[in-house]
Amino acid sequence: MSLTPTQWLIGGIAALIIGFSKTGVPGAGILAIPLIASLFVGRSSLGATLPLLLGADIVAVLLFRRHARWDELIRLAPSVLVGFALGIGAFLLLDEQKGTKDLIGVVIGWAVLIMVVAQVIRMRLGDRLTLQSRAATAGAGIMGGFATMVSNAAGPIMQIYLTSQKLDKMAFMGTASWFFLIFNSLKIPFYIGLAALAPDKPFFTAEGLIFCLILVPVLGLGTALGRWTLHRLPQRAFTIVVLVLSAVAAVRLILAA
């Protein structure tokens, strides 16, 4: 590894944020994506982020597995796979075109902002506005599957959707932890297959995997801090934090273009 001390500090902050978001404050995790992207080029940034996400996902599942709403996961699964297919198509057709990554980020950012606004309106109007229709589920699943495939950025989309389902914070964490463990794991063979089609554009590199291995202790510290925080956040504060961080992340994606 040839990272400078400053770059290692950036990587450590990213790992801490990822661990913290998976067990404590959902929505914060997407803030780590641009940090790691500043250390690794192109597709390799996705491959350097995914093992950290999976490590934190495993911890989250161990902590919250009993609280998952499997009916929500089953409802989302088909549309998430459609989003996967769209993401794979984006890599095959647009990956190397100038500006493609930024355009994808803008689309995801605006989608998240729209969902944040819809959720705030729903909170004000109560049951007069709902995001629980089949169309809302399909839209969230497709956007989430696409976003996680192309940029590891499904967090805000799924967090807004799950919040709209009126889950309490423990059911939210259990459902989200299983969602991300399952679908982050499913990305691995697709990334390997895409790299086989373009060997000069790998997702997983030795440097990226070593980077993740070295940062495991920091990731663990982040998960511990997240769990400590979760049990001290009231339900309403939890919901507001999710919405605010999702909106911040969305604006960050839009302005990064």
Query: pLDDT tens digits, residue range 130-182?
Result: 556 788 899 999 989 998 998 888 887 888 888 888 888 899 999 999 999 99
Residue 101: is its pLDDT beyond 70? no
The answer to whether residues 19 and 56 touch, using CB atoms and an 8 Å cutoff, is yes
* pLDDT at position 241: 77
* pLDDT at position 102: 53
Q: Which tokens is 31 given?
A: 């803030």
The CA distance from 93 to 31, in Å, is: 27
Please count the structural domains in the chain: 1
Q: Which tokens is 242 given?
A: 């999710």
Sign of the alpha-carbon torsion through 156, 160, 165, 170: positive
133's torsion region: left (phi>0), alpha (psi -120 to 50) or beta?
beta
**Average pLDDT for residues 88-95, to the nearest whole number?**
81
CA distances from residue 104 to 14, 98, 193, 248 in whole angstroms, order as listed:
22, 12, 21, 17
The CA distance from 254 to 124, in Å, is: 26
The answer to whether residues 86 and 145 touch, using CB atoms and an 8 Å cutoff, is yes
* pLDDT at position 226: 92
Q: What is the dihedral of CA 233, 234, 236, 239, to 10 degrees?
A: 30
The CA distance from 4 to 72, in Å, is: 43
The CA distance from 7 to 36, in Å, is: 9
Task: Please calculate the CA angle 113-141-134 and round it to the nearest 5 degrees.
Answer: 95
Residue 224: is its pLDDT beyond 60? yes
Parent domain of 140 = 5-255
Residue 96: is its pLDDT beyond 60? no
The CA distance from 9 to 28, in Å, is: 18
Q: Of 35-39, 81-85, 94-98, which gets the smallest average pLDDT?
A: 94-98
* pLDDT at position 141: 94
The answer to whether residues 112 and 247 touch, using CB atoms and an 8 Å cutoff, is yes
Average pLDDT, the chain: 85
Predicted confidence band at 24 (pLDDT cuts at 50, 70, 90)?
confident
Give, as one character, the DSSP assignment of residue 84: H
